[in-house]
Amino acid sequence: MLTKKTVLSGAVGLGLLVGMGAGVQAQEMDEITLQLKWVTQAQFAGYYVAKDQGFYEEENLDVTINPGGPDIAPPQLIAGGGADVIVEWMPAALAARERGVPLVNIAQPFELSGMMLTCREDTGIASPEDFPGKTLGVWFAGNEYPFLAWMARLGLPTDGSDAGVTVLRQGFNVDPLIQGQADCVSTMTYNEYWQVIDAGFTPEQLVVFPYSDQGVATLEDGLYVDENRLSDPEFVDAMARFVRASMKGWEWARENPEDAAMIVLENDASGAQTEEHQVRMMGEIAKLLATGEGAGRLDPAAYEQTVETLLSSGGDSPVISQAPEGAWTHAVVDAAGL
């Protein structure tokens, strides 16, 4: 059940100190907790913008945005009741669903994948045919699924054999590439790739393999809820208002990248982010967003491609063992008028 928060609206002034003045009304707002996949950064600018610009308030929502981190798994949090809606990559969401966490995609703000493998040119890697015998850095905690599917499609074992590749469990940085511990590392077009550039490499010294170019792109940064809650009309209505306001926030962020980046920085409690990096990130994020009519609606064809990619992972530990059922719905975006 949604929680409610009573707020005051109207002509609020000093009179509130002594009583309820004329024009002041009590109003119940739906409280929603959003759990992000990662730390506060422009990757999530649309949600921070929607809150900052009052788009959520206009929809009668009081939204709490909780940043993620290396020790935070959004599917586990929502399963434990710690969030109403989460931002997650579809491979991790579908894997969690198969394990018993009934996640359902209700909206897909990101249309394109930003994931790629970035390699040093001096390793001699020019194409995937050069991967055998190489060390590749890979993120885990659910982010490894697209990579494993790609290697399976290439027929490359990940056991460190000469015929396959050695998988380096990569931290959320690019140090292994810079220090020569890995031939390639996982990067996002909007983040880690630029960390490599900032470390002194030039684009000519790097060879990149976008997952979208390799035919193994999977959907990223979708919005997911607990399937059981979708039977509650009040919850569906609240989520529809949340998605509508969030997409408004994303459109504003796309059109005002520098201002959106500053809003993100204002919400960065860690103080770790920089203006230059966030402005650049917002510019790259804008290239991945769905735009125009129907923005935010999950494309069934993109969903099917994600499922096909994950099913092709094969091996002893496939990402998913069968095509899921009921893993997405248009009910929320339909109610939102998107």
Closest CA to 62 of 147, 152, 2, 115: 2
pLDDT value, residue 20: 47
Q: What is the 3-state secondary structure (H, E, C) of 56-95?
A: HHHCCEEEEEECCCCCCCHHHHHHCCCCCEEEECHHHHHH
Distance CA 303, CA 327 (A): 9
Among the listed residues 321, 266, 292, 306, the one whose alpha carbon sits nearest the alpha carbon of residue 53: 266
Q: H or E segment at 207?
A: strand 206-210
Q: In which band, very low, low, confident or very high, does the pLDDT at 6 lie, cut at 50, 70 and 90?
A: low
Where do the domains of the chain lie, and which CATH numbers do they carry?
A: 3-112+219-336 (3.40.190.10), 115-210 (3.40.190.10)
What is the average pLDDT score of the chain?
91
Q: Which residues pair with 29 in a beta bridge?
A: 5
Residue 49 has pLDDT above 80, yes or no: yes
Residue 16 has pLDDT above 50, yes or no: no
One-letter amino acid for residue 193 of the chain: Y
Mean pLDDT of 156-165: 90
For residue 33, what is the enclosing H or E element?
A: strand 24-35
- Indicate if the pLDDT at residue 11 is higher than 50: no
236 vs 232: CA distance, rounded Å: 6
Q: Sheet containing 115-120: which strands, arranged edge to edge? A: 166-169, 135-138, 184-188, 115-120, 206-210
Mean pLDDT of 165-191: 94
Split at pLDDT 50, 70, 90, the class of 26 is low
Q: Residue 103 belongs to what H/E stretch?
A: strand 103-107
Is the pLDDT score of 28 beyond 90? Answer: no
What pLDDT does residue 4 have?
78
Would you state the structure tokens that stand for residue 128, as one six-digit string?
């995937």
Confidence of residue 246 (pLDDT cuts 50, 70, 90): very high
In sequence order, which ranges of 110-256 are alpha helices (DSSP H)?
Answer: 145-154, 175-178, 192-198, 233-255
Q: What is the pLDDT of residue 15?
A: 45
Mean pLDDT to the nearest integer, 288-310: 93
- Report residue 199's pLDDT band, with 50, 70 and 90 as the boundaries: very high
Residues 250-262 as b or e (16 or more Cβ within 10 Å = b): bbbbbebbebbbe
Query: Shortest CA distance to 55 belongs to which of 250, 300, 332, 235?
Result: 250
Which pLDDT tens digit goes with each residue over 58-97? Answer: 999 999 999 999 889 999 999 999 999 999 999 999 999 9
**pLDDT in the model for residue 259:** 98
**pLDDT-based confidence at 125, cuts 50/70/90?**
very high
Work out the average pLDDT over 24-46.
90
Residue 146 pLDDT class (50, 70, 90 cuts): confident
The pLDDT value recorded for residue 109 is: 98
pTM: 0.89
In a 13 Å sphere around the CA of 193, the CA atoms on its Cβ side amount to 22
- Per the DSSP assignment, residues forming a β-bridge with 30 are 4, 61
Neighbouring residues of 103: CB distance < 8 A, sequence distance ≥ 6: 75, 78, 86, 88, 93, 94, 96, 97, 224, 225, 226, 227, 327
